[in-house]
Amino acid sequence: MTVTRREFLGAGAALAGARTVHGFPAIAQRRALRVGVFVSEVDAQGVDELVGPYVSQMRVGLELAASEINAMGGVLGRSVEFVYRDDGGSPPSQAATEALLDNEGCEAIVSGFPMASPRVLTARMNASTASVPLVHGFWTDGSYCSP
């Protein structure tokens, strides 16, 4: 059997195309969007006795949000995953922030404490240096604001 040059080049192009397609991951195989979360399991600074219950509610809310977002296809096709780190009730150190950003590969940081608190100021400066967004929520749920 004789193979023509056209058939040979066609087979070579098909083989090269097949190797290229195999090199691209499917959308479903994209890595998750990892979001770092600083929480305080204890109130080492004596700032607030409600830290424990607040942290558990924060975890429940974040996991609920992640499940809803992931059920709708994620963020730009990427599932959302939270990585929790206990700050020990004191400001997260630069090492703790770097651990979330470098070691865990987090692309954003979430904190539930007010932006001016010492717990967030350190993380905010470190996240800003790394050009990573830091999102925080306010926790004025009625115990601090009365009608």
Integer Cα distance of 100 and 107 in angstroms? 9
- Angle at alpha carbon of residue 128, lines to 98 and 48, rounded to 5°: 75
The per-residue pLDDT for range 12-46, each reduced to its tens digit, is 555 555 444 444 455 556 789 999 887 766 655 55
pLDDT tens digits, 42-53: 655 555 555 667
**Domain residue ranges of the chain, discontinuous segments joined by +:** 27-136
Identify the burial level of 35 via C-beta atoms within 10 angstroms of its C-beta, where 0-12 means exposed, 13-18 middle and 19 or more buried: buried
pLDDT at 29: 61
| CATH dotted code for 27-136 | 3.40.50.2300
Give the tens place of pLDDT for each residue, 80-116. 999 888 766 666 566 677 777 788 888 888 876 655 5
**Predicted pLDDT at 70:** 94
